[in-house]
Structure 1
Amino acid sequence: MKDTQILDLRGLNCPLPVMKTRKHLKRMTKGEQLVVKATDPMSAIDIPHMCQEDGHVLIESKMLDDVRQFTIEC
């Protein structure tokens, strides 16, 4: 399995975090993991919803200071 990739989307507002996450996941292989860092409050709703729609597994969603971090398996 390849290393976990990190996508830093801090400072971007809706809908950019979801759009950029979706685009990045399309380039990944099934089973790879992506860590997304976002500050947009809507990402707490939008990214889990996108994972459900697109068939990705949301492994973890947590807050680290003012940054929400999502771990997603492609």
Structure 2
Amino acid sequence: MPEITVDARGMACPGPISALTRAYRNAQNGDLIIVLATDPGFEPDVKAWVERTKNELVELAKVDGNVIKAVIKVTAKK
């Protein structure tokens, strides 16, 4: 299963979601997109993004202190 890593640490809203959206455009069904972000607003934003795009949020956790790690499985590409 291919993985796409997006390092959005240090970006302010809407930077992390914009970076996720750009990565999603190049992804295929079954790919994992791993996003690392430090913006505290990213957590609710990524939940809303996954719900809106009908993809799967595999993991959402804080790692290394203030870094938010989101793992999204691409399931809704046509």
CA distance in 1, matches of 2:52, 2:24: 13
* CA shift for structure 1 position 5: 1.7
Report the CA distance between 1:28 and its aligned residue: 0.3
Q: CA deviation at 1:16?
A: 1.0
Unaligned runs of 5+ in 1: none
The equivalent residue for 2:28 is: 29
Tell me the SS of whatever aligns to 2:10: coil
Q: Which residue identity is paired with 1:68?
A: I
Structure 2: which amino acid aligns with 1:63?
A: K
Give the % identical residues: 25
How many aligned residue pairs are there?
73
- 2:72 is the alignment partner of 1:68: no
Q: Which runs of 5+ in 2 are unaligned?
A: none
TM-score in terms of structure 1 length:
0.93
State the 4+ residue runs in structure 1 displaced beyond 3 angstroms. none
What does residue range 1-74 of structure 1 map to in structure 2 within 5 Å?
Answer: 1-2=1-2, 4-64=3-63, 65-74=65-74
Q: Give the Cα separation in 2 of the matches to 1:27 and 1:5.
A: 9
**Aligned-pair distance for 1:71?**
0.4
TM-score, normalised via structure 2 length: 0.88
